[in-house]
């Protein structure tokens, strides 16, 4: 199957998972739901994943995948906003349009992108701002993601700065309005457009055409997507097709209303009293996830067990990961990988122990970054209406037999 014929040759059929969760009693700890059933149906270029919707495609990666530094393309999560995704992309005629306040309007073909610019690579985590939303108590609005609305990949492409240099910015240019090829189903629904200030760009911001050494999977943005390391995925535009340079910020739905948190120190509010001023979500906070063992797993009594998982943040870098086997009363350092993938990538961790008591037990993981920021207990994560940026200490519950 040719990628450009993706939707012509494959029907996307999958059952939608329930999106709601029941609230807990006051003070009760809630963890993200990560034991939903993996779909019986595999989307094209994907293994069976946890499925919330088929139009637009919303797919979550199971917990057990997160023991490796890189997430396989066929297990990488999928999140689209609009149901109308192009059914056909002609790689030869596809262009990235650069216009607005530029001296040279550009229409960059894929061939030009791969041959006329310096090629660069970066390894970075892509994470939905609503990842782990199902852990908020009371339930926050939106897709009730478990822990797997994220992944880490090795991206290859061209610096966005280099493309803008080729276009030549006019005096007074400050903003970029970036959009892709997905469209709203109804004419009154706003299309998905994100705006970036030029100050947000550095050499790690790229237009990528490759993911883990292969062409981007169709559902992850083929043929090109924006990569902004350290930043939540709402700004990583898929099927990127247009960049308009402007001198002023434009008021748009997905900038002014969606993907926002309270503009206060705790980025929090209460269901009864929303905070009046908000700001966009942007830099990722520190977080970790145990990939093995998984919830409900069984460990053999007195056997050698290795807890494995991943930790990441918005680019400061992970300093250490700690493990607790007694409900958070005491902590011990896990072994981290060498960090050679870079500060925007996962740091994998390992922790060896022998379970000495039969019965139920809890395993917790807590990441601390190089700024000294660390994950709070889940019960201490502050609430917001959008259910964004949950980063409570991860916990899995297993049985020793």
Domains of the chain from N-terminus onward? 95-126+148-280 (3.90.420.10), 287-400 (2.60.40.650)
The pLDDT value recorded for residue 187 is 54
Please state the length of the chain.
401
In this structure, are residues 62 and 49 in contact, taking their beta carbons and an 8 Å threshold? yes
Give pLDDT tens digits along the chain (401 positions).
444 455 444 434 343 333 443 344 434 567 888 778 899 989 999 999 999 998 889 999 999 999 999 999 999 999 998 777 888 899 999 999 999 999 999 999 999 999 999 999 999 999 999 999 999 999 999 999 999 999 999 999 999 999 999 999 999 999 999 999 876 655 555 677 889 999 999 999 999 999 999 999 999 999 999 999 999 999 999 999 999 999 998 877 666 678 899 999 999 999 999 999 999 999 999 999 999 999 999 999 999 999 999 999 999 999 999 999 999 999 999 999 999 999 999 999 999 999 999 999 999 999 999 999 999 999 999 999 999 999 999 999 999 99
CA geometry: angle 397, 400, 401, nearest 5 deg: 140
Which residues are registered as beta bridge partners of 52? none
110 upstream amide cis, omega within 30 of 0: no
**What does the DSSP assignment read for 83-151?**
SB--S---TTT-EEEEEESBSS-EEEEHHHHHHSS--EEEEEEEE-TTTTGGG-SSPPSS----S-SEE
**List of residues 6+ apart from 67 with CB closer than 8 A:** 291, 292, 308, 309, 310, 348
pLDDT at 258: 80
Q: What is the pLDDT of residue 38?
A: 93
Q: Measure the CA dihedral 192/198/200/201, to 10°.
A: 100
Residue 384 contacts residue 269 (beta carbons within 8 Å) = yes
What does each C-alpha distance from 203 to 122, 163, 199, 284, 312 come to in angstroms? 10, 12, 12, 18, 20
């Amino acid at each position: 199957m040719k990628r450009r014929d993706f939707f012509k040759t494959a029907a996307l059929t999958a059952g939608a998972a329930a999106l709601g969760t029941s609230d807990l009693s006051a003070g009760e700890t809630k963890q993200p739901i990560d034991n939903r059933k993996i779909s019986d149906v595999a989307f094209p270029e994907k293994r069976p994943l946890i499925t919330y919707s088929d139009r637009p495609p919303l797919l979550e990666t199971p917990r057990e995948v997160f023991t490796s530094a890189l997430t396989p393309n066929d297990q990488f999560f999928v999140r689209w906003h609009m149901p109308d995704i192009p059914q056909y992309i002609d790689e030869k005629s596809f262009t990235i349009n650069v216009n607005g306040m530029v001296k040279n309007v550009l229409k960059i073909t894929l061939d030009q992108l791969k041959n006329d610019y310096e090629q660069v690579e970066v390894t970075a985590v892509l994470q939905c701002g609503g990842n782990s939303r199902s852990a908020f108590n009371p339930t926050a609005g939106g897709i009730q993601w478990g822990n797997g609305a994220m992944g880490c990949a090795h991206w290859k492409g061209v610096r966005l700065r280099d493309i803008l240099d080729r276009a030549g910015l006019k005096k007074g240019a400050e903003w970029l309005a970036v959009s892709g090829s997905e469209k709203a189903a109804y004419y009154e629904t706003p299309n998905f457009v994100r705006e970036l200030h030029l100050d947000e760009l550095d050499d790690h911001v790229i237009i990528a055409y490759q993911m883990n050494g292969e062409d981007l999977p169709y559902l992850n943005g083929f043929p090109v997507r924006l990569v902004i390391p350290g930043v939540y995925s709402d700004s990583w535009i898929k099927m990127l097709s247009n960049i308009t340079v402007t001198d002023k910020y434009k008021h748009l739905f997905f900038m002014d209303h969606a993907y926002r948190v309270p503009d206060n120190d705790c980025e929090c509010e209460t269901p009864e009293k929303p905070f009046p001023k908000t700001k966009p979500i942007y830099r990722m906070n520190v977080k970790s996830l145990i990939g093995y063992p998984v919830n409900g797993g069984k460990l053999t009594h007195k056997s050698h067990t290795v807890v494995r998982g991943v930790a990441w943040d918005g680019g400061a870098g992970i300093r250490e990961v700690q493990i607790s086997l007694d409900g958070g009363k005491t902590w011990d350092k896990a072994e981290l990988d060498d960090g050679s993938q870079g500060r925007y990538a996962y740091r994998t961790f390992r922790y060896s122990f022998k379970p000495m008591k039969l019965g139920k037990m809890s395993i917790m993981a807590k990441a601390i970054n190089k700024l000294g920021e660390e994950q709070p207990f889940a019960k201490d994560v502050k609430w917001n209406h959008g259910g964004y940026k949950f980063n409570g200490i991860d916990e899995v519950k297993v049985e020793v037999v």
